[in-house]
Amino acid sequence: MLPENMREFVNVPISSSETIVKQWTTKDVIAWLSRNGFHSYVASFHDNDVIGVVFCTLTMKQLCDNLNMSELHAQSFICCRNQLLGKSNESWA
């Protein structure tokens, strides 16, 4: 079952989903982190005021250098985020 705030994404074109995610507040980003097993990074994302538009574009380097993620967690984060946004993860194969 989809989380309540994600139900609106069902049957929505990918570009619209990304547009909605880009409008997320830091609170929305933190909720996503918690739901997807990235609890240990909530404080870092909060302290850096990561909002949706930033969330959508975070790179491996930014996750590791600025948000203190391990490379393995950063790769997992990017894969989960790409799935949310409907983007391919082929570069990780």
Output the six-digit token pair for 11: 């049957």
Q: What is the pLDDT of residues 15-67, one digit of tens each?
A: 568 889 999 999 999 999 999 999 999 999 999 999 999 999 999 999 999 99
Band (12; pLDDT cuts 50, 70, 90):
very low
Report the CATH architecture of 14-87.
Answer: Orthogonal Bundle (1.10)
- pTM listed for this prediction: 0.78
Q: List the chain domain ranges.
A: 14-87
- Burial, 45: exposed, middle or buried (Cβ in 10 Å; 0-12, 13-18, 19+)? buried
Contact 63, 78 (CB under 8 A): yes
Q: What is the DSSP letter of 36?
A: T
- Burial, 54: exposed, middle or buried (Cβ in 10 Å; 0-12, 13-18, 19+)? middle
Cite the beta strand spans of 1-88 per DSSP E.
none
